Structure 1
Amino acid sequence: MWILFLILHVHSYFLPGVAPKSYEQGHKLNLYVNKLDSSKTQLPFDYYYLHYCKPHHVSAQSENIGQTLTGDTIETSPYQISMGQVKRCEVLCTQTNRRSHIRTFKWMIDNEYKASWLLDNLPAGFRQTTNSNDQRTKTKISYYQDGFPIGFRDGRDFFINNHHHIVIKIHPNSKDEDKWKIVGFLVEPLSLLNTPEKLGCNTPEFLSHEFGEAKWNETIMTPDERLSGSFPTRISTLPAQNLDLPGSNITYTYSVIFEESDVKWADRWDYYLYMTGESGEVHWLSIVNSFAMVLFLTGMVAHIFRRIIKKDISTYNEKDDIDPEGESGWKQVKGDIFRPPVYGSIFSIIIGSGVQVIGMAILTLLFACIGFLTPANRGALVTAMLILYVFMGAGAGYTSSRLYKFFGGDFWKRNAFGTAFFFPGICFLVFFIVNLFILGEESSGAVPFTSLLELLILWFGISVPLVFLGSAIGFRKNRIDHPCKINKIPKPIEIIPGSFKINAICVMAGSLPFGCMFIELSYVMKSLWHHTLFYYLFGFLFLCFVVLVITSAEVSILMTYIILCREDYRWWWASFGVAGSSGIYLFLYSFIYFMTDLTFNRFSSVIIYFGYMFLTSVAYALITGTIGFFATFIFIRNIYSNIKVS
């Protein structure tokens, strides 16, 4: 009864952190400008980098560190919009373009730059109106993707989209019919020639085009049909605004309409995150194929455990007099199996760094699956990854020091220092070099000095102390016991024919952890390097991560067992390298993706792409390699603890 009583008083809230907001008739709507970006250059620019109309006072909205790192600047705009008030032809301002302004406009039009706006936290989609064969019917093509073209090119002529037809989709509030919720935001950019005598948006042709009473059909294009190329945005019967008029005045205008929609507020992101049935089938097919791979590997591992190893252990333990010379296979190296590897300190540092990345990845995926890191929370994903990585430093230090002490190391502070600076140092170095190239392009994606200082504070002020704290706690723990006594003199390793083939097979086995993520990786790459798309399928990604963990573990166990059967006890680096080599495949895939799907035309864009893909590949190798090592370590301890030790 008490539980039922409490249920009656439960109140729900929207997890992503954006509460629904209702607007009364005439309520002012704040339209914010975001940035200018292009998939061809990967260089974002501040919206007012172009000679656009500005409000009297430009103020930036509050930003998190994720938005700063991605150049996601949100600023106020001069557009005056009120709920329910239709505007047919409003003058925004008149600007005089100098030759430098014209060159910048042309360069951005050639590089397919798109403008990003925000209204009620919704990104501005792109709408086109096309005439069908029946002149009385128009088709409105809506792209619910982030950004719309700033202009277009026709031969040698460049035209600027100086008119913006703003479409706001609204849904009535269920509790108050006098209030409305915004469920869609589209912009139809047009190039209209405006003269002091006549505005293009005041002509009958324009009014008929946008406000006519002809029937129209809306066709929604999916994210798979990505915007590319130059889009002529003009009305065929009206002259367009040519850019090649230095010193002339360009008048910017806009119009606003409101369309009632059946879409509810809770579903308003569905169009932006639209997934076709075919695309959904591909995702599920990839999951099924990955699980089939897991079942195959699990069957092989189970066969080794149940048939081969169990039989070997039983036979070995049943012998009263064990003849060392008569032993063969993995049992022959029991006295050297836990001998510390070469460069044991470096190995422990790498494993500790892998634990830090794994902890960050798991928690990030969990928060994303719950709904905290949706695209509605701009910059939240990058911010969460950064903060979680910093606080996972304690786990990295603890793991690294425990392993370092297991290897017989004494200088735990030096080991902690290496753990605190190994992977973060690589990331900061690559990031700093990339940032220098972005800074040279005058892009808003360049991270300012204050943000770099924030990163250093997070690194030196939080992450490093946590790594040392974890290392101190881990080093004070008792040393991990060896199931087998280590021989004083290492057993000579015989050179067996076919060693090169085994090494090649180990590297090829790294393709399996990469293969289970391949299909989902293509969607992630599209959202990363094509700025009109949003990635939101974190549920699929989490399932793929589970498959990745299982595959990495089983591949490392299988290949390590083969190595041990050849009486080679140098399994430490091999257990990491087998699954960790999948990072090499990821980096090679980035080259293929660069050649087939991207059209970068600037050297700085290439540096940005390969710099960040290198860091992604290293992180991927750390995740898979660390998982492979721990699985193999548990496997080896189990099998050698079950045999008699003479």
Structure 2
Amino acid sequence: MEKSTASLGGVIVILCCCCCCFISHVTCDASDHRYKEGDSVPFYANKVGPFHNPSETYRYFDLPFCSPDNVEEKKEDLGEVLNGDRLVVAPYKLDFLIDTETESICKKRLTRKEVAQLRAAVLKDYFFTMYYDDLPIWGFLGKFDSENQDETTATKVYLFNHLHFEILYNKDRIIDVFIRNDPKGVVDLTEDREVDVDFTYSAKWTPTDITFDKRLEKYSQTSLLFSHLEIHWFSIFNSCVIVLLLTGFLATILMHVLKNDFVKFTHDEEAVDDDEESGWKYIHGDVFRYPRYKSLFAAALGTGSQLFTLAILIFMLALVGVFYPYNRGAMFTALVVIYALTSGVAGYTAASFYYMIEGKNWGRNLILTGSLFSGPLFLTFCFLNTVALAYNSTAALPFGTIVVIFLIWTLVTSPLLVLGGIAGKNSRPEFQAPCRTTKYPREIPQLPWYRRTLAQMAMAGFLPFSAIYIELYYIFASVWGHQIYTVYSILFIVFIILLIVTAFITVALTYFQLAAEDHQWWWRSFLCGGSTGLFIYWYCMFFYNARSDMYGFMQTSFFFGYMACICYGFFLMLGTVGFRASLIFVRHMYRSIKCE
């Protein structure tokens, strides 16, 4: 009854989490997006940075633009701050349905230092982002012309000093907005000298038949182009073929081998001498011997179960449309909140399994469970946040946000972890082993190199990685680039395929390990299941060097630092899947024979 109550409480918490995330990110907090002629429309400038370095972003007014005496900042939620957004009221006045002829923001004399700063920004392909009625706008600061230049001629660098806004509207709603740069409205920044600049803008309103509920569709059209969908579905087909071949291979080989084993072990069993046994039955007295480092093993299973629950809930929110394009910070907010609320899953799983394998110090086990993933993540964050502070980047979290995250961890994550641990401890489940464990373990025979841990991990990680590597490019191009990912249904199918392939390949390798009379399969199955995370990190190196144009110490450290944490999370999650699948298989296998 206690176990059922705890499970019901966990389900209620999860449902409340989903509802809170859905409501907080679907409801617009700016206005109802309806305006009358002459009404002021919310217009915010966000950040600037190198186009190829998505993590290296700076405040809009860090560059020497025309800034008001008192910069008015927009109040942001947790997800927006984690995303590096720092919104301020833009210096442009674009009232609803009011065409604006060329109007000056300010006339400014740029010093030689400011000219050098802007010239360096243009040469690094700096671009800016803004939001007008919650619609994103972006554009480049300027252009440079290095063609037909010899070594003695400087690269021509130009700053755009005039922005023309074209705004589409349908009755009382704004549908679209974009920027056009006037090729004549530029300022030459090539020479290192003071320059007078007149920053100007204009706006034109144009009616359209596009309805308000379809105004964000253009941002997801890239993902829905026929060529991209064709590649996506090809990757799905490729993955499905791998799954079918793998499952067919396992079903044929394992069923044939197991059938022969069962016949061998059960035929005329009374006449068989134990000394003549060989293969996986020979080690029936050791196969359910509890692994070394029980506390660490249970903590890894608990953390992996939490991350698996987190992934499933994120997919649920994505499939119902919460993470629509440019819903600022929704993904980060959901990750923080759901991770905090699912800590009870980690505590319950770790404590119950720890007691199941006769662990004693459950308090230390809970501490290890709570820090196994969050500890490395915290250390990585401290280093990367220090780097961002040194660069004065918006990627650095403000002190207030750090305090909020600490309070969430203190007041939500830790108590739920302890409550889950208490529930798991009190459930006191028994480990269902079909065979009795002998007092002394058998000696493991000398194994060839291809049956050892590293070789098995390489084989176990390659097949699941080959089933998802095509989709990885689109994910990386979205997270570490400027593409928009919206086909979450395909991603969810790929995720399910990843789980199936991981489970099947781990089961196969576990059988071959037991057939070789190696009974230490607990940690091996976890490591083999999680080895796909190592392959994903290898792909990170390939993507950074061959598929991206990222550069610089800050971007490099952010990319490899946070991807290391993500791949480590995949390692724990898939390792848990691999072990659970192997445990079910091993129990079924040994229940099918009579063991003395």
TM-score (norm 2): 0.89
Q: Aligned partners of 2:102, 2:448: CA distance in 1, in Å?
A: 82
Deviations 1:63-117 (A, max 9, x none): 2222212211121112111222211211111223223322321221121111101
Matched residues in 1 for 2:453 and 2:158: separation? 62
Paired residue for 2:470?
Answer: 519
Query: Equivalents in 2 of 1:450, 1:492: separation in Å?
Result: 57
Q: CA deviation at 1:348?
A: 1.4
* Structure 2 residue aligned with 1:487: 438
1:275-315 deviations in Å (ceiling 9; x for gaps) = 32101100011111111111112212322554332443354
Aligned to 1:165: 164
Q: Is this contact kept in 2: 1:48–1:54, CA < 8 A?
A: yes
Aligned equivalent of 2:209, options 256, 262, 266: 262
For 1:80, the aligned partner's letter is K
State which of 121, 127, 131 in structure 2 corresponds to 1:118.
131
Q: Comparing 568-577 with 471-480, which one deviates more in the overlay?
A: 471-480
1:307 and 2:299 are equivalent in the alignment:
no
The answer to whether residue 394 in structure 2 is matched with residue 394 in structure 1 is: no
- Partner Cα separation in structure 2 for residue 517 and residue 62 of structure 1: 39
Residue deviations 1:508-544, cap 9 Å, x none? 22111222221111011111222x3222221111111
Match of 1:286 among 229, 232, 235: 235
Counterpart contact for 1:506–1:578, Cα < 8 Å: yes
- C-alpha deviation, 1:477, in angstroms: 2.0
Cα shift readout 1:229-282 (whole Å, capped 9, x = no counterpart): xxxxx23xx774547475443111101012233332222222211232101100
Where 1:51 maps in the other structure, the secondary structure is: coil
1:149 to 140, 154, 157: 140
Q: CA deviation at 1:627?
A: 0.8
> d(CA) in 2 for partners of 1:607 and 1:338?
43
User: Does the 8 A contact of 1:120 with 1:182 survive in 2?
Assistant: yes
Tell me, yes or no, if structure 1 residue 577 matches structure 2 residue 493: no
Q: CA RMSD in A?
A: 2.2
Q: How far is the alpha carbon of 1:569 from its aligned partner?
A: 0.7
Provide the C-alpha distance between the structure 1 equivalents of 2:450 and 2:492, rounded to a whole number of angstroms.
37
CA distance 1:239–1:420, change in 2 (3 Å): closer
In the alignment, structure 1 residue 30 sits paired with structure 2 residue 6: no
1:106 aligned partner: 119
Please say if residues 84 and 396 of structure 2, whose CA atoms lie closer than 8 Å, have aligned partners that are also in contact: yes
Aligned residues: 559
If the length of structure 1 is used for normalisation, what is the TM-score? 0.82
Question: Whole-Å Cα distance in 2 between the matches of residues 336 and 16 of structure 1?
Answer: 55
Alignment check: 8 A CA contact 1:37 1:115 kept: yes
Partner in structure 1 of residue 14 of structure 2:
none
What amino acid maps onto 2:42 in structure 1?
N
Q: Secondary structure at the match of 2:172?
A: strand
Kindly state the Cα deviation for residue 187 of structure 1 after the two structures are TM-superposed: 0.6
1:273 maps to 2:220: yes
Q: Which is worse superposed, 560-569 or 272-281?
A: 272-281
Residues 442-451 or 594-603, more deviating: 594-603
Structure 1 stretch 67-76 or stretch 306-315: which is displaced more? 306-315
Deviation at residue 407 of structure 1 after TM alignment = 2.4
Please give the residue correspondences for 1:541-560 in structure 2 after superposition, counting only pairs within 5 Å: 541-560=491-510
Offset at residue 613 of structure 1 (A): 1.4
- SS of the residue corresponding to residue 204 of structure 2 reads strand
Taking the aligned partners of 1:578 and 1:597, their CA distance within structure 2 comes to 28
Q: Which amino acid aligns with 1:24?
A: K
What is the CA distance between 1:600 and its match in structure 2?
3.4
Structure 1 unaligned residues grouped into runs of 5+: 1-12, 125-146, 172-178, 191-233
Contact persistence 1:55–1:77 (CA under 8 A): no
The answer as to whether partners of 1:162 and 1:253 remain within 8 angstroms in 2 is yes
What does residue range 231-242 of structure 1 map to in structure 2 within 5 Å?
234-235=183-184, 240-242=187-189
Q: 1:181-238, CA deviations, whole angstroms, 9 ceiling, x for partnerless residues?
A: 2221101133xxxxxxxxxxxxxxxxxxxxxxxxxxxxxxxxxxxxxxxxxxx23xx7
Whether contact under 8 Å (1:20, 1:181) holds in the other structure is no
Q: Which runs of 5+ in 2 are unaligned?
A: 1-22, 146-153
User: Compared with structure 1, are the counterparts of its residues 239 and 602 closer, same or farther at alpha carbon in structure 2 (3 Å cutoff)?
Assistant: closer
Structure 1's 398 and 360: CA in aligned 2 closer, same or farther, altered over 3 A?
Answer: same
CA contact (8 A) 1:329 1:565 kept: yes
Tell me the secondary structure at the aligned position of residue 221 of structure 2: coil
Offset at residue 23 of structure 1 (A): 2.4
Counterpart Cα distance in 2 of 1:498 and 1:43: 45
Contact 2:25 2:330 in 1 (8 A): no
Equivalent in the alignment of 1:131: none
Match of 1:338, SS state, is coil
- The answer to whether 1:295 aligns with 2:244 is yes
Q: Percent identity?
A: 30
> More displaced, 422-431 or 303-312?
303-312
1:616 deviates by 1.5
Query: 1:14: how far off?
Result: 12
Stretch of structure 1 that moved more, 473-482 or 337-346: 473-482
Match of 1:17 in 2: 27
Q: Does 1:188 find its partner at 2:154?
A: no
- What is the alpha-carbon distance in structure 2 between the residues aligned to residue 499 and residue 510 of structure 1? 14
**Greater alpha carbon shift after TM alignment, 516-525 vs 266-275:** 266-275
- Taking a change above 3 Å as real, the CA distance of residues 21 and 239 of structure 1, as seen in their structure-2 partners, is closer
CA distance in 2, matches of 1:15, 1:605: 29
Counterpart Cα distance in 1 of 2:311 and 2:531: 19
Check the 8 A contact 2:127/2:141 in 1, yes or no. Answer: yes
Query: Could you tell me how far apart the structure 2 residues matched to 1:603 and 1:239 are?
Result: 32
Give, in whole Å, the separation in 1 of the partners of 2:447 and 2:393.
57
Deviation at 1:580, TM superposition (A): 1.0
Q: Report what 1:135 is aligned to.
A: none
Structure 2 SS opposite 1:24: coil
Structure 2 counterpart SS, 1:92: strand
Deviation of 1:610 after TM superposition, in Å, equals 0.9
Asked if 1 retains the 8 angstrom alpha-carbon contact of 2:136 and 2:326, the reply is: no
User: What CA distance in whole angstroms lies between the structure 1 residues aligned with 2:81 and 2:231?
Assistant: 34
How far the C-alpha of 1:501 sits from its partner, in A, is 6.8
Distance 1:555 1:447 in 2: 41
Residues 187 and 197, structure 2, Cα contact 8 Å, conserved in 1: no
**1:421-570 paired onto structure 2 within 5 Å:** 421-478=371-428, 479-500=430-451, 503-530=454-481, 532-570=482-520
Distance 1:496 1:243, change over 3 A: closer
Q: CA deviation at 1:552?
A: 0.8
**Paired AA for residue 166 in structure 1:** F
Partner of 1:421: helix, strand, or coil? helix
The CA distance in 2 between the partners of 1:502 and 1:611, in whole Å, is: 26
In structure 2, relative to structure 1, the CA distance for the partners of 1:163 and 1:270 (3 Å cut) is: same
Residue 56 of structure 2 aligns to which amino acid in structure 1? Answer: L
Aligned partner (choices 565, 572, 591) of residue 641 of structure 1: 591
| 1:50 maps onto 2:50 in alignment | no
Between the aligned partners of 1:15 and 1:423, the Cα distance in structure 2 is 27
